[in-house]
Chain A
Amino acid sequence: MIGVALKSLWGRKLRTLLTALSIVLGTTMIAGTFVVRDQITNAFTSIFETGLEKTDVLLSKKTAFGSDNSQSGPLPASDIAAAAAVPGVAKAEGQIQAQGALVVNGKYTASSGPSFVFSTLSDTFSPYNYVAGRPPQQSGEVVVNQQMARDRHLRVGQHALLATEVGTRPVTIVGVFRYGQVSSIGGATIVGTTFADAQAWFDRPGLTSLVFVKADPGVSQVELQRRLTAALSHDVKVQTGPEAAKQQTDQTAGGVTGFLTPLLLAFAFTAVLVGAFIIFNTFSITVAHRTREFAILRTLGASRRQVLRSVLLEATVVGLLASALGIVLGIGFAKLLGVLFDAVGFGLPSTAIRIAPLTVIVLPLAVGTGTALLSAIAPAFRATRIPPIAALREGAELPPSVLARRATPIAGLILAAGLGGIWDGIFNDGSVLGAVLGLGKTADILLSMGIGAILCFLSVAMLSKHVVRPLARLFGMPLEWIVYAGQRLAALLRRIPRALPLLRALAIARRAVFQVRVVLSALQLVLTIASLLLIASGDAVAGVLLLAIGSAAIGYSLRRIWRKPRPDLEWPPETPTRETGRLARENTTRNTARTATTASALMIGVGLVVFVAVFVNGFKDSFLGALDHSISSDLIVQSDSFSSIPKQAVQAAGAVPDVQVAAGIQFTEAKIGHGGTDVINGIDPTTIAQVYTFNWQQGGSNDLLGRFSGNEALIEQQFAKSHHLSVGDHFQVTSIEGNHLDLEVIGQYKDPTLMPGFTVPSLTLDSFTTNSDPGVLLVSFKQGVPLDRGKAEVARALRAFPEAKVRTNAEYKAHTDSQVSGFLNFLYVLLAMSLIISLFGIVNTLALSVFERTREIGMLRAVGTTRRQLRRMIRYEAIITSAIGGLLGVVVGLVFGWILSKGLADQGISFSIPYSLLVVVLIGAVIAGVLSAILPARRAARLDVLEALQYE
């Protein structure tokens, strides 16, 4: 029986390949995700280990809580001397770490990664290997990392400006270094300065960010750590070099991959789910088609178990082959992801690809094979129910199983469970699933939403067979009429004697264009691959391999043209008829379950695209809406790299004569009581009302701002709710440096988008934390100042602070819009995989049904159906199927989006239907249908009438 299973796979190579593809892409994404994760983690590990390689102990300021956004505070510079005085210390050196980038020839050079300014260390500690020049020795001298020097064409001796807290400072590049042996530090740039310069330029007089300590020979790191801990004040964190490196790695790499890995895996598993639908469909069709074959095997003595095993074995082999291919392609996918990240301005460091056996090989293999096997179980059991007598009967049909007869109520229950899961995840923190698994709040929420969504997809797939008939009519009827009208028009044209030769020429041209198109598409394939390779660094082996595939594709299409040198002109044209369209419609409703499954595969991808669009646009709308409601300034000044605006920039803007108010709004994090962290905003009570409109609650008013001072706080509605606070209450907050504040609530407002958490006067915030630079600067002009002039003047005044981007409110909104679109496109690219898989699904189902209907097609041809009509019929089938999938997806996506927006309503997320996207999606679905019909339609049209008629 094993031999039979394998032979049957080999005998149906094309179908096996198409089926396998649905698994290949999913496993590609899984393997690729883990390759990328390992690359990023390894890169960060090596960056931080290199940075602290020569360091025995590292001193830093203790933090009150972990944070990705706030820097830990500085230490007094006196700690350097204090550390050096501890017995066993050979050397202690301070380092200032800050953010800033060079301005070269008037151009600000901040890249896609973070832009660091570090004061340089002596050779005792420094990880820098100089490839040109020397370390900075005097004020105004800087060194830059090699990658930046290469990208920005910097050389030793060049003059430039450095953006600092106190404005730009003229500097001279005196050296170019490589960071240890690390090949790439991603998009990050490092500018090295002297310690004194960094102190002066980054508002750290008498302070240091870190202290690097070297032990005397014979003193162990642990011993030194013990002595320093005893000698220094208790708010100094004392770590050995390896400890600190590990912590830095975990924090940074964990921060990146902790967000990225689940995101990418979610898309990978979506692709796998879509693949499962296709495997299920393909095996269902093949089992139905092979009824005779299985029955013959049964009459020859094969047991039910053997039939079951042979089908499952086929699935396993398909799954294994597909996963193996997926793993290989996953490595390529990892490279593609790298390119993608760079494209969306998310440059990440990376290392050479290392393949972790468990996550990159075992997991994708297990998931791919498991999916194939699971999806084939139902069809396999169906095969076992074929009685031997079916061998003797023509077109024997199986009665539906007990389960199939109850499919609708079961699907109803699944749908209820799925929606319940999503609802519970959003409104009750996933309490039901949490009670069973208890993986922590976030995981419970996401898992119950995810599982809920999968159940919804499954049930909609099961239920949608009931709507296939009306939907096929809905889409099919207009299609028939539109094409019919077109044909009528063409027929009218043919009545004009002059037009006839023209139309004939057109028919000839169409054939010719088609042939050229085949060549072009193959050429295009090669070009795309070649260009991809160019982007993803020249890997010779992969390059040659892919080029070979590309040339093979071109050779194939050339051979096809060669074999059929004189194509049929399909002339004279047939008379207009709607019959082909009607037949197509009847064909899609012939087996509604099959059409429903095929369409459902597409539904998943489309549903997620719509859902993501609804959610992200809701988020954007709420943000832009909040801007419109609350911000009354003329300009919004912000840095594009999430860094803050120097306080001096605020003063510089305020000094512009045309400016009425320049108000910086600070935001950072604080620990609330003994619980979690939240956002703390700092405002200047005297000016804020002129640039920002508070949405007061509980009787609050702008009068409050008049006496807003000291340890008083205004709280946002959500904050009030979650911490059970109201006006008059007191609460404790702790800054990252460990400073405490006792705040009194004097008012409540609502703005979950721009001013979440709570708000204090900026003077209070200044003394509370060192992370007190404003995140945004709002500028209002005096009465009658034209926008252009005002903006130009402020921009001129802020020229010394190139990180501060000056935008009018409209420009700022447009900028936000484009950023959101960029992020959306990134998500769409990841979802494209699922869509591509579902297209293969349509191709596969169509190809199989063409195969199944061979004799019928022969009859249609014999009674006068032209090749063109036949192709058209199959194309319409594809369009109807894909349009159904698109519509179902739109509905499901909107429902998901609506539920989520309801759940996040109190955070200001609104529900808005992205109409233009819906139109694009539906048109896209139709185009997808046309594309996926190309191959099956040509196959059907090429069938020899006689052979088709004699086919059994």
Chain B
Amino acid sequence: MSTTSDVVVAATGVTRRYGEGDAAVDALRGISVEIPRGQFTAVMGPSGSGKSTLMHILAGLDLPTEGHVSIDGRDITTMGDQALTLLRRTHIGFIFQFFNLLPMLTAEENIVLPLRIAGATPDRAWVDEIIAKVGLSDRRGHRPAQLSGGQSQRVAIARALIAQPTVMFADEPTGNLDSTTSEEILKLLRETVDAYGQTTLMVTHDPRAAAMADRILFLADGVIVRDQGRSTPQEVLAAMSEVSGQ
């Protein structure tokens, strides 16, 4: 499914320091990682391990103090805001913990928003397919206020997928949902990866979520301490306690 030559996201020697002098804190300390195309990667780690910071830097939302990040072979750490914004349109999709839907737009309008902003005309068949995929065919005309949490997150997933981005980043996508709904959302994420070969990077602290991924990165104190393949929730839990114990 993936080869090392087909790396879509690559980080080399990424360090992120907050503050200066004595008060300086290193959130990330020289992380290098490569994400191959079509892989579903989960990033885990205790609070303060730097997992969110890593995702933000990989997605170009934050700049590393040292090191480089490239997406689809282009170094994003040297890009200006405009170039980065345009890059986000075609290469990056986001799923947030709080769904961040526009309240005045319908579900379908929210989904096609990134395309419209980019000035592209949505392909009808593709829009229909995505909406069917996330199971919102009967909800496309509803506004966010009329949708449940799970349905809102489905809209957000469809919105992230609509532009067929090179990589999709999900920041605690189930953090704001109950366990049954979480299960459904995770299944959906897994399905999209399988169906479309969508490269996905997910930050989570939920072992069941991580167990859905092809690969799990464990972070502690700003470094990757473990990098393992597909695991069961029990294996993830065990790895977590091992990491925390270190």
Q: Which residues of A contact B (CB under 8 A)?
A: 394, 568-572, 574-577, 579-580, 582-583, 586-587, 589-590, 855-856, 858-869, 945-946, 949
Contacts and interface: CB of A to CB of B under 8 A. Distances in A.
A137 B159 CA distance: 99
B21 interface: no
A949 B96 CA distance: 9
Listed residue (A568, A572, A864) with the most chain B CB atoms within 10 angstroms of its CB: A864
Contact of B118 (A577, A587, A862): A577
A946 B27 CA distance: 16
Given A869-B117, A949-B96, A570 B61 contact: no
Given A574-B119, A864-B89, A945-B61, 5 more contacts: A570-B81, A579-B113, A579-B117, A580-B117, A949-B61
Contacts of B120: 575
Interface in B158-209: 159, 163
B80 interface: yes
A394 B152 CA distance: 14
A859 B116 contact: no
A586 B104 contact: yes
B64 interface: no
B117 A577 contact: yes
A861 B60 CA distance: 12
Contact of A856 (B82, B93, B94, B100): B100
Contacts of A568: 80-82
A866 B82 contact: yes
Contacts of B94: 859, 862-863
Contacts of A862: 61, 88, 94
Contacts, number: 88
Contact of A575 (B85, B103, B119, B159): B119
Contacts of B83: 571-572
Contacts of B113: 579, 863
B175 to A, nearest CB: 13
Contact of A571 (B82, B93, B119): B82
A381 B142 CA distance: 33
B104 A867 contact: no
A864 B81 CA distance: 11
A858 B88 CA distance: 13
A577 to B, nearest CB: 4
A569 B80 contact: yes
Contacts of B117: 577, 579-580, 860, 863-865, 869
Contacts of B86: 572, 574, 864, 866
Contacts of B118: 574-575, 577, 864
Contacts of B88: 862-864
B102 A583 contact: yes
8 contacts: A569-B80, A571-B80, A856-B102, A862-B94, A863-B88, A864-B86, A864-B89, A945-B61
B61 A586 contact: no
5 closest A-B pairs (Cβ-Cβ)? A575-B119, A864-B89, A577-B119, A859-B100, A579-B116
A949 B89 contact: no
A575 B118 CA distance: 6
Given A859-B96, A862-B88, A867 B102 contact: no
Contacts of A864: 85-86, 88-89, 114, 117-118, 163
Nearest to B171: A949
Nearest to B91: A864
A25 B56 CA distance: 46
A591 to B, nearest CB: 10
Contacts of A856: 100, 102
A507 to B, nearest CB: 9
A751 B159 CA distance: 74
Given A583-B102, A861-B85, A864-B89, A946 B159 contact: no
A572 B118 CA distance: 13
B104 A855 contact: no
Nearest to A397: B145
Contacts of B114: 863-864
Contacts of A572: 82-83, 86
A206 to B, nearest CB: 88
A692 to B, nearest CB: 66
Contacts of A587: 104
Contact of B82 (A589, A867, A949): A867
Interface string B47-85: 000000000100001100000000000000000111101
B105 A586 contact: yes
B85 A949 contact: no
Contacts of B62: 946
A576 B119 CA distance: 5
Contacts of B61: 862, 945-946, 949
